[in-house]
Amino acid sequence: MEIVISNAPFNRAAALSLRQATFVTERGIPRDVEFDDRDTPDRLYVVAYDRPDLPVGTLRLEPQSPTEMRFGRVCTSQAYRGQGIGRQVLAAGEDWARVHGFTAGLIDGELTAQAFYERCGYHAIGAPFDEDGAPVVTLRKKFN
């Protein structure tokens, strides 16, 4: 498994392709909601590749402050779920954030994914809310 963190066109295309398949095609989220103004050419994406031509997991790095990094649009290809790809992508994003001076991570996770994020060390802060028609909770993790 290779994990790439960059805004290179190939990596951005891989991330967006995974999100199209997962959120738009599979989950039915409207494309103009899924792909928003935060998907800029300078945005960094973490992408896991099973092979150089096969991206299987991704997330978007979204700095919220000098100390907090939001990990957004986390997804794994349907055929690769349950194999630890999401955990690997998230860990790579957290490592990158730590190296670059961030001390905490934030995730707006759907309630169906809350247990996964809690197993990764995140804790819910605040009450659930609706985002794009799904119940979501904000989770936070302080980095060591």
pLDDT for residue 144: 77
Q: What is the pLDDT of residues 61-99, one digit of tens each?
A: 999 999 999 999 999 999 999 999 999 999 999 999 999
Confidence grade of residue 30 (pLDDT, cut at 50, 70, 90): confident
pLDDT of 29 strictly over 90:
no
Looking at every residue in the chain, the average pLDDT score rounds to: 94
Report the percentage of the chain scoring pLDDT > 70. Answer: 100
pLDDT value for 64: 96
Contact 27, 35 (CB under 8 A): no
CB 107 within 8 A of CB 71: yes
- Beta strand residue intervals within 7-131, DSSP E: 45-51, 54-63, 68-76, 104-110, 123-124, 129-131
CATH of 2-142, one of 3.40.50.1440, 3.40.630.30, 3.40.50.2300, 3.30.1660.40: 3.40.630.30
For 45-69, what is the mean pLDDT?
97
Average pLDDT over residues 111-128: 94
Q: How would residue 100 be classed by pLDDT, with cut points 50, 70 and 90? A: very high
Is the overall model pTM greater than 0.75, yes or no?
yes
Of 13, 84, 95, 73, the closest CA to residue 50 belongs to: 84
Please state the rounded mean pLDDT for residues 125-133. 87
